[in-house]
């Protein structure tokens, strides 16, 4: 797959930061076959069913070269939310067999009311999907669909008429799965020929992203990383590669307590994992809500790099958000200038108020130059954006708290906040 293809999927499905309810111009108006029983090759057809997530079907569509989430509610209304990576946009459809007054190709005023208060107004086009009549939002930004999934309830009105209200429980997990599925389509891991599978390596990136997070194993038996507590029930987030070969996992807290932990959930694709321990943490991280972290904003890292070589009481580093995307324009990542060493991975990246804005994941050490030489990269490190981490937690039904940034604190105060909810992760393999 070319770097252009990689960029396209990153742009289409990964724009987590800066959520804005902005719909593009709607031009789609042809009669189509439906998602249920649709013939292959239509914009809404299930060309390959990929997964079932909390009541939603996750399916891949060949025409869009992306994936969507599809569900039918008690009112027999169907909702389809997905990503068109071929055209670098997203789409959304509401449809019901009883909505036969909707005319195909006609534009309608559409109003969506979220959680009984927040509203969006725009234009939708009438479509026919098999026996269903529906309203489609086409050519919308990926942020629109992602933000939609963050709401709890939605009421749909068109031309002043109320169509239905829906409980959106499970939608976050479904959209996270559709995002992952779309990336798999672009990387050849999901194909539209059931007889074929592809294990083609991801495209070569100019800045090589390395995952140093765990301290190199001694005798291939022990490695360490960092994690942070996201709930007072003992849920701790870290990187998937930190616990990749774990037969036994142990957590050590700043107050000296230690306990065994089990791996509750792990995603190699997102490089995220959740561990569970019976320990009650002394503090829990809070994810930043409201305004997203910006380019140039200061950030703080607390973790346990090079355990056994540096202090076992933890290590603080500071820096800035130096880019809003990672290698290959991967916008599920952000680049940070704070120093990262082996053992830092899985730790929280926090803003100047102590709220989590990312998860440390990798650093870039070298880059191949056009003249065949190798260039050493300085202060080029990466973090998974907090929006991606939140979707992963939602998908695995792990509770976590969100709060808006409440003003800058001193770096010492931020360090104290981060240290309290951070733990050393020890992974033992047999």
Q: Is 384 exposed, middle or buried (0-12, 13-18, 19+ CB in 10 A)?
A: buried
What are 6-39's pLDDT values in tens digits? Answer: 444 444 444 433 333 322 222 222 222 333 334 4
Provide the token pair at 361: 């994941």
Q: What is the pLDDT of residue 175?
A: 86
Name the pLDDT band for 307 (thresholds 50, 70, 90): low
Q: Using CA of residue 130, residue 133, residue 137, residue 139, what is the dihedral sign?
A: positive
Q: Can you tell me which residue has the tokens 């999927």?
A: 9
Q: How far apart are CA 201 and CA 178, in angstroms?
A: 21
pLDDT in tens, 281-300: 999 999 999 888 999 999 99
DSSP 243: G
Helix spans in 358-404 (H) = 386-395
Tally the residues of the chain: 430
**DSSP assignment letter at 218:** S
Could you give the CA distance from residue 110 to residue 237 in angstroms, rounded to a whole number?
A: 39
Instruction: Classify strands 401-404 and 286-289 as parallel, antiparallel or unpaired.
Output: parallel
C-alpha pair distances (Å), 11 with each of 17, 81, 138, 144? 11, 17, 16, 13
pLDDT score for 348 = 96
pLDDT of residue 172: 80
Q: What is the pLDDT of residues 76-103, one digit of tens each?
A: 888 999 999 888 899 999 998 888 889 9
Which of 319, 317, 316 lies closest to 297, judged by CA? 319
pLDDT at 249 over 60: yes
pLDDT at residue 248, rounded to an integer:
86
Q: Tell me which DSSP letter residue 103 carries.
A: P
Q: Give the other-Cβ count within 10 Å of 38's Cβ.
A: 18
pLDDT at 261: 93
Q: Taking each helix axis from N to C terminus, what angle separates 3-13 and 142-149, rounded to the nearest 10 degrees?
A: 40
Q: What is the mean pLDDT of residues 218-229?
A: 75
Mean pLDDT confidence for 386-403: 91
Quick one: what percent of the chain has pLDDT higher than 70?
Answer: 78
Predicted local confidence at residue 384, as pLDDT: 93
Residue 169 in tokens: 């429980």
Mean pLDDT across the chain? 78
Please name the residues in contact with 172: beta carbons below 8 A apart, sequence gap of 6 or more: 149, 150, 390, 391, 394, 395
pLDDT at 221: 54
Question: Each residue of 89-143: pLDDT tens digit?
Answer: 999 999 988 888 899 999 999 988 888 778 888 899 999 888 889 999 999 888 8
The Cα–Cα gap between 287 and 244 comes to 25
The model's pTM is 0.53
Q: What is d(CA 136, CA 131) in angstroms, rounded to the nearest whole number? A: 15
Q: What is the pLDDT of residues 260-275, one digit of tens each?
A: 999 988 887 788 999 9
pLDDT band at 200 (very low <50, low <70, confident <90, very high): very low
Q: What percent of the chain has pLDDT over 90?
A: 35
- What pLDDT is stored for residue 26 in this prediction? 24
Q: Which residues pair with 302 in a beta bridge?
A: 316
Find all residues with CB under 8 Å of 90, minimum gap 6, and list them.
12, 81, 82, 83, 84, 140, 141, 142, 144, 145
Rg (CA), the chain: 23
Q: Of 365 and 130, which is predicted with more confidence?
A: 130
Of the given ranges (227-241, 350-364, 407-421), which has the lowest mean pLDDT? 350-364
């Amino acid at each position: 797959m070319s770097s252009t293809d990689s960029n396209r999927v990153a742009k289409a499905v990964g724009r987590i930061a800066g959520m804005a309810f902005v719909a593009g111009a709607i031009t789609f108006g042809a009669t189509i076959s439906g998602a249920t029983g649709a013939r292959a090759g239509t914009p809404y057809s299930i060309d390959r069913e990929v997964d079932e997530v909390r009541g939603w079907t996750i399916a891949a569509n060949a025409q869009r070269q992306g994936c969507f989430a599809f569900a039918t509610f008690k009112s027999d209304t169907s909702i389809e939310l997905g990503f068109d990576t071929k055209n670098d946009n997203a789409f959304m459809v509401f449809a019901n067999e009883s909505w036969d007054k909707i005319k195909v190709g006609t534009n309608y005023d559409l109003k969506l009311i979220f959680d009984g208060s927040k509203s969006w107004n725009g234009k939708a086009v009438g479509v026919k999907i098999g026996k269903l009549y529906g309203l489609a939002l086409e050519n919308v930004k990926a942020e629109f669909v992602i933000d939609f999934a963050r709401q709890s309830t939605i009421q749909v009105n068109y031309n002043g008429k109320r169509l239905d209200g829906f409980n959106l429980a499970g939608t976050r997990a479904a959209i996270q799965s559709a995002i992952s599925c779309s990336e798999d389509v672009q990387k050849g891991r999901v194909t539209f020929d059931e007889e074929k599978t592809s294990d083609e390596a991801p495209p070569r990136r100019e800045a090589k992203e390395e995952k140093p997070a765990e301290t190199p194993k001694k005798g291939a038996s022990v490695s360490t990383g960092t994690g942070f507590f996201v709930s007072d029930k003992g849920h701790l987030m870290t990187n998937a590669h930190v616990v990749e070969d774990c037969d036994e996992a142990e957590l050590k807290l700043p107050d000296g307590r230690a306990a065994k932990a089990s791996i509750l959930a792990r995603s190699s694709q997102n490089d995220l994992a959740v561990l569970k321990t019976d320990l009650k943490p002394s503090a829990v991280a809070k994810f930043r809500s409201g305004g997203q972290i910006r380019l140039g904003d200061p950030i703080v890292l607390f973790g346990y790099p090079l355990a056994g070589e540096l202090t076992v009481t933890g290590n603080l580093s500071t820096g800035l958000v130096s880019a809003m995307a990672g290698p290959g324009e991967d916008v599920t990542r952000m680049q940070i200038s704070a120093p990262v060493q082996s053992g830092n991975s899985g730790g929280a990246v926090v803003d100047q108020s102590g709220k989590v804005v990312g998860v440390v994941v990798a650093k870039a050490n070298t880059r191949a130059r056009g003249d065949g030489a190798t260039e050493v990269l300085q202060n080029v490190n990466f973090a998974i954006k907090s929006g991606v981490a939140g979707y992963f937690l939602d998908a695995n039904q792990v509770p976590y708290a969100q709060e808006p940034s409440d003003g800058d604190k001193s770096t010492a105060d931020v360090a104290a906040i981060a240290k309290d909810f951070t733990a050393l992760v020890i992974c033992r393999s047999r």
